[in-house]
Amino acid sequence: MRLLILATLLPLLAQANPILDGADPHAAVVGKNYWLFPTEARSRDPIFAAYRSTDLRTWKREGTILDLDKIPWVKADGAPWHGAWAPALATKNGKFYFYYSVGPQHPTPSRIGVASGPSPTGPFTDSGKPLLTGFEGFEAIDPMVFVDPAGGKAWFYVGGSAGAKLRVFEMAADMISFKREVEITQPEKFTEGAFMHLRGKTYYLSYSHGKWNDSTYSVHYATAPSPTGPWQYRGCILQSDDKHQGPGHHSFIENPGTKEWFIVYHRWETGKKDPPFRGGRKLAIEKITYDAKGLIQPIKMTDAKPPVSVIRR
């Protein structure tokens, strides 16, 4: 009985860094809750799950929210296996939109799907077709949708790895199709995993650089006066150290009451610099700071518990 009770409570216990197994975490604030949507760790099935916290320390798995095996178009490419990778959540007009990557890239191209629902846990209804499909020189992975509070337009950022090409689209009003693609200048040192956030009047485009499974993986960023550039490269803010390798594919979140900012990212728990790394990737959270000019200060990875940050509206 004690073991059963302990197993029930484990998902509710506060964790030090790393907080969870997984990769590619998309973090969001909805109401008084923080939400995490990662690439699931060690799952044999192509699924996505949601994790919820009220303080950034204690996380609860709220269950599976999307199963690729139940989406007919996913299997239409005939590939024997599909990966459920790098999701993102956006909200507009009271509705939630869940964007996700479908692997593999070879021999069939990667694709991006989108589903919609009434809450961060759904139930989500898939749109019924791919939103975007990769092709030679472009890998359709790592979607991120930013709804600009200054005007309400929604911007879709996607791409990386094969070709290391970032593409940007303006979303249509339905949030499940594109209005247009915007030509942009490629950000310096961009590899994959783009994320956009706004602080004051400055737009921060951050992204991963390097190889996903070695110590070169790192987070860089650029700033711009608009969601589509022009980008001013600002440098690397998160990189491997003596205890952790390959930090990246991150997201930024703000406590709207305290105005504190945090980065959620994945990393390998090893001091070994040369791959292959043992074990899977883990998720961690660090508080970030900006200087007087609005530049993000270099981020130090920690093994401590993330700071408590309760949302009060």
Residue owning tokens 């899977």: 280
Assess whether 192 carries a catalytic annotation. Answer: yes
Assess whether 67 carries a catalytic annotation. Answer: no
> Which residues, 6+ apart, have CB-to-CB distance to 182 below 8 Å?
168, 169, 170, 228
Q: How long, in residues, is the chain?
A: 313
Q: Which of 40, 62, 192, 286 is catalytic?
A: 192
Burial 60-94 (b: 16+ CB within 10 A, else e): eebeebbebeebeebeebebeebbbbbbbbbbbee
Q: Three-class SS of residue 30?
A: strand
Cα–Cα distance measured from residue 295 to residue 236, given in angstroms and rounded to the nearest whole number: 11
**134: its two tokens:** 């990769």
Element (H, E) at 197: strand 192-199
**91: its two tokens:** 């909200």
Q: Which of 24, 40, 126, 142 is catalytic?
A: 24
> Could you tell me whether strands 218-224 and 202-209 are parallel, antiparallel, or unpaired per DSSP bridges?
antiparallel
Radius of gyration of the chain (CA): 18
Q: Would you tell me how many other CB atoms lie within 10 Å of the CB of residue 119?
A: 14
What amino acid positions are annotated as catalytic residues? Answer: 24, 192
